[in-house]
Amino acid sequence: MLSSIRKFSTSFMGKIVIALIAIAFIVGFGMSGSFSGKQNIVAQINDEKISTQEFVNYLRTVNITYEEMEKVGKLNLLERVLTNYISEKIVAIESNKMGFQLSDRSLFRKLANDKKFQKDGEFSETRYEKFILKNGLTKPFYESLLKENEIKSQLLNFYSGGLNLPKFIIDDLYKEENRSIDIEFISLTKIYEKKVVKEEEIVSFFEKNKDSFEETRKKFRYLTLSPEVLVGDKLINENYFKKIDIIENAILDGESFDQLTSEYKSNIKNTPFINQDGLKSDGNLFKDLNNETLNEIFKISDLDTPVFLNQNNNFYIAELKESKNEILNLESVGLKEKIVNQIKLIDQIEKISKLINDIEENIFKKDDFTNFANKNNAQIKNLTLKNIDDKSKFNSKSLKRIFELKSGSIFVLPDENENYLMTIVNEKIPKIDINSASYKNYQNKAKELYTAKIYKSYDSYINQKYKIDIKKNVLKRIENSF
């Protein structure tokens, strides 16, 4: 909670806008509110109640757009805003108990130092008043919020601002991220891909899973809306795009495929029955369309309904003519290959799971690493990783996992599309110069990490100290007022 409060409070100056939600709320049931009694309470912090009117006032200060409402959902968005407000209320309560305050003189200094209120380097009352009017605010309201925000900052800085870490913590962080590691690794994927799948295994797998081997095949007709077809010219010009707009609008108006293509009948093409991979019944690939366009056409599900497609400014009209489901058998083109790949994948998962278990149980050790490579005729590769950011071979997630471990560790590492058996052979520990720029950077980085731990600890304390009750039914009523 506290870390999100800190981020929320420090961004306050950039989020004062006209609140569309507040306007909708007020229009919905008036400033006086159509709730009464308990229905007028949207949340409660211990014994302190938050009224719907108070919450509406807060909504006026929050930058919320219709796009955000559509993306997240009105109720979810209201819950998030209310949670933020509850967080701010708790920080305000804690700040008051700690005696933090901001004098009128300090408040004026903050306003005077705000560049958006300055003209020629001096505070401009006129610019300040224009800002207030433009955003539908009042001076007392804005200054009250500014004062609350500054007091919250004082509380947060109280818990983290005076943090002075000992040198060994900074050294440890630098060593952890900059030590170089010598590793040996074997590709498990390449080993298990060698598995020879016998015919009886294929048959057995098919019999056990035959109900799942069903394939949809579709037949389409389509027209490529090229400049040659529409305007008789290879060059794209304004007339061409006018034609495209006319066709697209005609589809929206409900014209049929035949009506849309009456002038271009000779250019209409038909596909045979194809599956989602573009394979025909004979196993050959339908090559008249590229994979991306074919994938989009295959998504069409309504029969005899023309669809306009735009694939990287290549335009088409397509229509689904027939669709059927086929129960596959072992003679179906490509099925055996798919079954073989599935059997290999299942075999690989099972063997890797056993290997991981043996490593965790300390059954699989360093000598077993070499024996495993020899037994499977696999090459052991060597690599030195310069630091945690060395992406010459592995991605960031894999590097993080490797650098969490110490010399002598043996482990299985999944990295994108390949699995590895790996061991850390050696590590070289660097030293950091206390007078270098790197030391200052790592000092700040270490402070940020420890500050986050402090916030997490304080967050736990807050959660135990304050009982929060959000009235879902009242929040739902606010949502319904939009």
Which is higher by pLDDT, 9 or 311?
A: 311
184 and 300 in a single domain? The answer is no
pLDDT of residue 35: 41
CB of 20 within 8 A of CB of 64?
yes
CA dist., res. 290 & res. 311, Å (int): 10
Pick 420 or 176 by higher pLDDT: 420
| pLDDT for residue 198 | 92
Number of domains forming the structure of the chain: 3
* Residue 435 pLDDT greater than 90, yes or no: no
What's the pLDDT score for residue 31?
36
Q: How confident is the model at residue 303 (pLDDT cuts 50, 70, 90)?
A: very high
Q: Which whole number is the average pLDDT over 432-450?
A: 83
pLDDT higher than 60, residue 8: no
Calculate the average pLDDT of the chain: 81
Same domain membership, residue 319 and residue 357: no
Integer Rg of the chain from CA: 33
Q: Give the pLDDT of residue 326.
A: 81
Q: Residue 360 domain-assigned?
A: yes
pLDDT over threshold 70, residue 30: no
Percentage of the residues of the chain whose pLDDT score is greater than 90: 32
**Distance (Å, rounded) from C-alpha 85 to C-alpha 61?**
11
Q: Which positions ≥6 away from 264 have C-beta within 8 Å?
A: 223, 229, 230
452 in a structural domain:
no
**Res 260 pLDDT > 90:** yes
Q: What is the DSSP letter of 419?
A: E
Question: 100 Cβ partners below 8 Å, 6+ apart?
Answer: 151, 154, 155, 158
Q: Say how far apart CA 342 and CA 348 lie, in whole Å.
A: 10
Q: Are residues 254 and 303 in the same domain?
A: yes
| Pairing status of strand 214-224 against strand 122-123 | unpaired
The DSSP line for 264-306 is GGGG-EE--SB-TT-BBTTS-B--SS-HHHHHHHHT--SBT--
Q: Do residues 99 and 29 both lie within one domain?
A: yes
Higher-pLDDT residue of 323, 479? 323
Mean pLDDT of 173-200: 90
Per-residue pLDDT band for 222 (boundaries 50, 70, 90) equals very high
Residue 109 shares a structural domain with residue 184? no
pLDDT for the residue 80: 79
Check residue 159 and give its pLDDT: 62
Residue 180 is predicted with a pLDDT of 92
How many other CB atoms are found less than 10 A from the CB of residue 91?
24
Give yes or no for a contact between 396 and 376, defined as CB atoms under 8 angstroms apart: no
The reply to whether 157 and 12 lie within a common domain is: yes
Domain assignment present for residue 174? The answer is: no
Q: Are 251 and 282 within one domain?
A: yes
The pLDDT score that the predictor gives to residue 162 is 59
What is the mean pLDDT of the segment spanning 190-218? 88
Range in 26-40, 297-311, 391-405 with the lowest mean pLDDT: 26-40
Band (pLDDT 50/70/90 cuts) for residue 378 is: very high
In a domain, 334, yes or no: no
pLDDT at 136: 67
Residue that finishes a domain, picked among 265, 298, 327: 327
Q: Is residue 303 part of a domain?
A: yes
Question: Among 22-31, 195-204, 395-404, 457-466, which stretch is predicted with the lowest mean pLDDT?
Answer: 22-31
- pLDDT above 60 for 38: no
Provide the pLDDT for residue 97.
73
- 24 within domain boundaries: yes
CATH number assigned to the domain comprising residue 42 = 1.10.4030.10
Angle between helices 20-29 and 52-59 (to 10 degrees): 150
pLDDT tens per residue across span 50-60: 888 888 777 76
Q: Do both 36 and 66 map to the same domain?
A: yes
Instruction: Report strand pairing: 41-45 vs 468-470.
Output: antiparallel
Task: Examine the domain organization and report whether 311 and 358 are in the same domain.
Answer: no
Q: Is the pLDDT of residue 433 over 60?
A: yes
pLDDT band, very low/low/confident/very high, at 102 (cuts 50, 70, 90): low
**CB count, 10 Å around CB of 96?**
12
In this structure, the answer to whether residues 321 and 352 fall within a common structural domain is no
Phi, psi (5° rounding) for residue 342?
Answer: -65, -40
3-state helix, strand, coil in the chain (%, to 5): 55, 15, 30
Instruction: Identify which has the larger pLDDT, 424 or 84.
Output: 424
Same structural domain, 132 and 229: no
Report the C-alpha gap between 366 and 360 in whole angstroms: 13
pLDDT digits (tens, 9 = 90+) for 264-295: 999 999 999 998 888 887 878 898 988 889 98
Whether residue 52 sits in one domain with residue 131: yes
Q: Which tokens is 430 given?
A: 């660097």
Per the domain annotation, does 333 fall within a domain?
A: no
Whether 60 maps to a domain, the answer reads: yes
Q: What is the domain range of residue 74?
A: 2-162+458-480
The pLDDT tens digits for 384-419 are: 999 988 999 999 999 999 998 989 999 999 987 899
β partners of residue 83: none
pLDDT higher than 80, residue 43:
yes
Q: Output the pLDDT for position 12.
A: 34
Confidence of residue 1 (pLDDT cuts 50, 70, 90): very low
Return phi, psi of residue 139, to 5°.
Answer: -60, -50
Contact 50, 474 (CB under 8 A): no
At 312-370, the pLDDT tens digits run 888 999 999 999 988 787 877 778 888 999 999 999 999 999 999 999 999 998 889 99
